[in-house]
Amino acid sequence: MTQRRRNPGRRAPALRLDPYLAFLVFVAVGVGTHRMGQDGRLVLLWSVLLGACLVYADRRPLELQVALASMGQGLAVGLVLGIPLVILAADLLRAAAVRLYPFGNGTAAFQGLVLIAAPIEEAFFRGVIQQEHGFWVATGLYGLAALVFFLPSIAGFPVVLLAMMVGMTVLGVVYGYVALRYGLAASMACHATVNLALFVLPLALGSSGG
């Protein structure tokens, strides 16, 4: 009986990722780290989403086509959403940013929310979930993600937590539409612009004013 020879050029089969299972892992990590400091906890949760995206992309590459015109559309949508709110409710947004994203200063908040959170969250919720299970599933899970991200920080403020869930659901609709219309990179640009306007700018303005 001869032993079958291995083909050295044959690639190992890619890991398959079930997006629902990946979201459940994200929830489990969120529950298991509820006693951690919020800044480190957020980084860990974003790392879980990034890992899920990398496993998914090994089997099916994310449809990330970077075009300046499309990204400009996403940036414009983000500005239309964010700038009026900054003008009307800067103090409220600053208080929310300090509570939800305790990075310490505007520079760290920019790195965390614009350079890390926006592309990773869009890659997972729009690039993976929306691509596999559709617009409304991605939107609903993004709204539920508010519980995972923020429950330990605002467990004593159910109205604020509900507002965050509603807000992230509404933003999920916007990001999902931008992804469908202009592409994943545009939704990343839109998300980054909204985070910059709603959370980073109020922190920076508060620091400069204080």
pLDDT tens readout for residues 94-139? 888 888 888 878 888 899 999 999 999 999 999 999 999 999 999 9
Residue 140 has pLDDT above 60, yes or no: yes
Decide: 195 and 110 in contact? Cβ < 8 Å.
Answer: no
How far, rounded to the nearest angstrom, does the alpha carbon of residue 150 sit from its chain's CA centroid? 13
- Give the pLDDT confidence score for residue 16 in this predicted structure: 75
Cβ within 8 Å of residue 160, ≥6 positions away: 96, 154
CA–CA separation, 75 and 175 (whole Å): 11
